[in-house]
Chain A
Amino acid sequence: MSGLAVACRRVVHIYRAEAGDVVALSGVDLSIGPGEMLALVGPSGSGKSTLVALLAGLMRPSAGRVNVGTYDLGKLSDAEISRLRGTQIGVVLQGAARNLLPYASLERNVWLAQRRAARTEGIELEDPERILDLVGLRGKGAARLTDLAPGARQRAALAVGIAASPGLLLVDEPTSQLDSHGRDEVLDALETVNAERGTTVVVVTHDAEVGARLGRAVTIRDGRVGAEGRGGQDFAVVAGDGTVQLPPDVLGHFPPGTLFTVDQADGTVTLVPGGAAQIPETHTGDAA
């Protein structure tokens, strides 16, 4: 299965809770090309996991549209989404252990994850052993999760995620508990999958290095796409509703309610804070 494209348009998600509703996503616009590798970074509670859950079809967006490949997830029935997760979208949850049945061997776990796809026509499934091989766990098929080192556990979780040869792989915090060696192994495995199968890979991470290594890193801030880094360079992003988030370090200088004048000259946009008391400062950025 080749990679799936992903498109989010003005996605809003609100958690209904007893203590009050929480707006987790408040208008996310994001496009991911097929076969692309992308990191979702951002502060804790910014909405990364929520976005991944929406992409996996585990929840429905409160508003906006989420497209995966040719599917509009909001319009699919539960059964169709379930089938999609069984065949085209692989999910690796945060915390390796949550992805595997602890009492079954790795091979069994992989095999179980393939069941839906095995019943679907037109899908060529790989041998569980071969999949374990792909994530660097050759010969560990009979092992249980508890027998493995933390890095290997994360890769085992990865193996389950890719078991059905999905076009989109969603991975939440794969490296958070690992040392640098373990982290490299996991990233290597991800890159192998991406390279060998062309799978679109979305990784949620706190780790800037991971973001840098994946090439494209989208920063989620306060439920929106706050910035994007490519090739080591950071960009602000104009959202679908036309808003642009300033980088936090810049924003820190201006209390809410600060007025700017916006000047544009020679392709450079200059924000000039209004009011005499304020120190004029100039920021520039490329409009995407």
Chain B
Amino acid sequence: MAGVVRGALRSRRAQAATVLVLTGLAVAVAAAAPWYARAAERSVAVADVDGARSSELVVRVAGRVEGSIAPGGSVRPGDEVVSEVGEQAGDVVDVPGAGTTVSLRESGTIASELARINLRLVYRDEMCEHLDVEGKCPQAAGEVLLSRRTAQTLQVGAGDKVEFVLASQPPIEFTVAGTYQIGDPLGAYWALTDFGGSAALDPGADGPGDPAFVASDTVAALPVKEILADYHLRVPERLFLDDLAGLRADLSAVSRNSGAWRVTTDAVTLANRIDQERDLVTLGVGVAAVQLLVLCWFGLFFAVRHTAEQRRPDIGLLKLRGAARWRLWYLAIAQSAVPMVGGAVLGVVVGLGGARLVAGQVPEPGSAALFSGIAALAALAGALLAAVAADAGGMRAPVTDLLRHVPSRRRGWRAEVVDLIIVLVAAAGLYQSYATASEDDTSGLALLAPALIAVLVALAAARLLTPLAGRVGRRALRSGRVPAALGATQLARRPGTHRVFALLVIAVALLGTAVGGWAAASDGRTERARHELGADRVLTVQARSRAQLVAAVRAADPGGTQAMAVVRSNDGPATVLLAVDSARFAAVADWQPVYGDVPPAALLRPPAPEPLSAADGELTLDVAAKMMPAPLAPLTPGGAAGGAAAPAPAEPIFVLVHLATEAGDQVSLRFGPLGDARATYRAPLSGCGAGCRLLGIEPVTRNFTGRSVAPEPGATVTVFGLSGAAGPVAPPAVLGDVSRWRAGVGRATVGPNLTAADGALTITAVRAAREDDRSTRVYVVDAPAPLPVVSTGNTSPPAEGDPRLAVFGGEDVPVRTVGAVRTLPTVHRFGYLMDLEYADRIAENPGTVDVPQVWLAPGAPAGIVDKLRAGGLTVISDETAASVTDRLGREAPPSALRFQLVAALAGLLLTAGAFIVVAAVERPERAAELAALRAQGLPPRVVRRVAWGGYAGLAVAAVLLGLGASALAQAVTRRPIPLFVDGWDVLPVAVGPQPLPLGLALLVGLLVVGAAGAVAAVLLVRAVRREESA
């Protein structure tokens, strides 16, 4: 019997090979799916962890421990406090393998002779390794490490003394050990801390200052009842990849009340995202694989049924000889089963190999391979079942039918019922996918919706095909168009044609949907990457100051078309503030048309008076001071400063002149003490080189500790002139113009009163409800106030008061909206765009949560980065739109969509194969008919046209209809796989069918199906010729 089967297989080589290939394809996809899904699950998790914000890899446990003046407390060694924090917090959250750090902090004010800054005193484990220190890192009690800009503002350096003042405590003297800049502000070390660089976004942070670092002993010795303490755990990445469940259990303390300790982390968000991505991959790959499998089984069924046609006489013969049933089945099924098993073996090898090649290794290859094996076996079992079903008809048929070459009857009631059931199931599935689909729910049914639509369209079209072809044939016959008539009637009479046609339509539709989804996702990724980055390439840098950033970028790109200085900051979690070098914005930023029109530079940067500038050398201040009783109400400008004489001041008045170097460093000069009479005072200015910008003038006095404070209300200082060696710094025309001067713009700032007359500026201290709000500082107006901003259209003005924004994370400044656009680069919800220089000039304190960046245009030369470095910028991160696109490409949706695409292609190849089989099986008969017609004088040209029209025409019709079904599915169903796991929808994505992907699918469909049709046609023509010559 085996010999007989072998003989049968050998003589029906082509059919066996086709069945082998079709099964191989199905099994390959089935075997590849679990492995691919596993590998993709892993790689999306890796990508998630790689792309995670550092706060998602860190757990913070915050609380308090006993301070030195707690009841019964004493000054303890710092080490003891640190280990106590470690023990207590470690009990609350314990993640195995996590690196931990302890920090201690206390808020207060640090003051030098010239200025004071609210900040926090911080000790942190390993801090010295994460700080770039000039001088030395504090080791001993009483040493303090200041940030470079704090030191700048206080005008102190290593070795200088500063005072630290805790509320209602006498000042404590510290020695400045050195200055620091944070080496890795975006690093995980600084995540979820209040003292890092740009990552330290904490709305609760009090005071504008950078933290000052000290040794643990220093904090332990502070006269406080409680020391604020933080315990940070750095979650090992491995846990996210291998043991998500264990990690969740470890983090169960999050959001639970754990006594004195509060746990915060975004690690749970990351874990959820990884879960979501994994689910999406599994679902996307699974659905694609199942779709393909079903398609494969149907394809195999039709292919096998057509080959079964050739087996009918064999079966008849065995039946004629009274052979046992099993022998009939053996002969019939073995002819399908042998190539199927062979194909399955090949398919497993190809599928697993391909999946490994494409998706890489998986964590547990054994279990993945097992799943792949099970899937492959299921695919093979389905194929065998299809073979059994295909041959079942022959087994039932009477011997006489089998022997007489009567083709099995197809259009019985059974076939109708099968069609009906398929239609009902498809319709029910479609309805279900609508009924259950909420907006962000990706259920399996929603994923199946496009396929179900394709099935409905394909079945309807296939049912219409036969009558339609019949009618066309009759009409063509009547009008004497022989080729058309022959082709159409052939089509109408071929029993298997409309089934294969339906399969082709479905396969093409699935390809169209897959290509559409894939193209939309890849477009969406590019758009999102461009949007999130804001420019073609973005460097995140560290700069001494914003002024230095602007200067360095302008120096590196004098042309102003390749690089732009940008400072990003946030005002609350949802609002992004973009301060840009506005003249370069249009040229450098990646402005997408959907945003609206590019805001013109003139809008953000209206003309403003030139800054006043002073060069190195001696500065001369011509000034008079007068003590007066405080006015009851603020004086109107120009109002006479009359009143009774005040008692003599306890302390003399000084005048501080504030300047800023080109690099943004602040320089303050003190003039005085002033006498009552007008006089000139001198002070040497250095460090300015060719010019410092004059920031403002501030009359001060000294309090009992020697610190500079605002003079008594009513104290008046009149400035008649400020000049340097080269000439006047503030000429009389400017001094006499009150519009060139303004008070501070801080929300709580009170005073001073300003009057200008006859080329002199008079500054009067005023009273305020809170002494701290009182200010006598006068600013030079060299930028518009309020600051002009362009906002996203969705922002709304504040409920009360002037619109203000916390520019650079410092104190908020008044703004004026001069334009609105749909959205701005990098902005997720709300955003404001402003001129960087103007914003920098108007912002009064440095702000700590700004991210200095350099945006580069696509054409920017590679050398520009070196120029920026030479300009004093340190590059701490470098991203390109391509690299962001690439990172997004490693998320779950692209992984699933890629598999869908491959599966759709495999499905198309498979149905094309089935098409060829069907054509091959009916070829002898058709060839005989056409040859007979040839013998009766039918020209060979007509034979060719009949063959091509019949097969290639069918192929083209199937491709067009399939694409139509796909377009319909894309138009009426939700996108089955979301473009992004996080549901990102800032930019509108194109919905519905897109011409380009459809065109691509058309091309591929025509190539594959058309090629199959062409092969069938050519072989038929050749067969007719052979028949004729025989």
Contacts and interface: CB of A to CB of B under 8 A. Distances in A.
B326 to A, nearest CB: 11
Given A58-B400, A59-B400, A101-B314, A86 B321 contact: yes
A257 B976 CA distance: 81
A132 interface: no
Contact of A103 (B8, B327, B399, B400): B8
B643 interface: no
A115 B327 contact: yes
Interface of B: 3-4, 7-8, 10-12, 313-314, 317-324, 327, 398-400, 403
A98 B319 CA distance: 13
B312 to A, nearest CB: 12
A113 interface: yes
Interface in A56-87: 56, 58-59, 82-87
Residue among A93, A105, A112 with the highest chain B CB neighbour number at 10 A: A112
Contacts of A280: none
B14 to A, nearest CB: 14
Given A93-B320, A116-B322, 6 more contacts: A58-B399, A98-B317, A103-B11, A113-B321, A115-B327, A164-B322
Contacts of B398: 58-59
A130 interface: no
A154 B399 CA distance: 21
A99 B3 CA distance: 18
Contacts of A98: 313, 317, 403
Contacts of B7: 101, 103-105, 108
A85 B321 contact: yes
A108 B3 contact: yes
Contacts of A102: 11
A53 interface: yes
A95 to B, nearest CB: 10
B4 A103 contact: yes
A88 to B, nearest CB: 9
Nearest to B400: A58
A112 B11 contact: no
A83 B320 CA distance: 10
A257 to B, nearest CB: 37
B317 A85 contact: no
A163 to B, nearest CB: 8
Contacts of A84: 322
Contacts of B8: 101, 103-104
B319 A82 contact: yes
Nearest to B319: A82
A116 B313 CA distance: 19
Nearest to B322: A86
Given A103-B7, A104-B3, A108-B4, A115 B320 contact: no
Closest CB pairs A-B (n = 9): A86-B322, A103-B7, A103-B11, A116-B322, A85-B322, A113-B321, A82-B322, A104-B4, A103-B8
A91 interface: yes
Residue among A58, A98, A103 with the highest chain B CB neighbour number at 10 A: A103
B57 to A, nearest CB: 68
A103 B10 contact: yes
Contacts of A59: 398, 400
Contacts of A100: 317
A99 B400 contact: no
Contact of B323 (A105, A108, A116, A160): A116
Contacts of B319: 82
Contacts of A116: 321-324
Contacts of A56: 320
Given A103-B10, A104-B3, A104-B4, A112 B323 contact: yes
A112 B321 contact: yes
Nearest to B8: A103
B309 to A, nearest CB: 15
A115 to B, nearest CB: 6
A87 B321 CA distance: 8
20 contacts: A58-B398, A58-B400, A91-B320, A98-B313, A98-B317, A101-B4, A101-B7, A101-B314, A101-B317, A103-B4, A103-B8, A103-B11, A103-B12, A104-B3, A104-B7, A112-B318, A112-B323, A113-B321, A115-B323, A115-B327
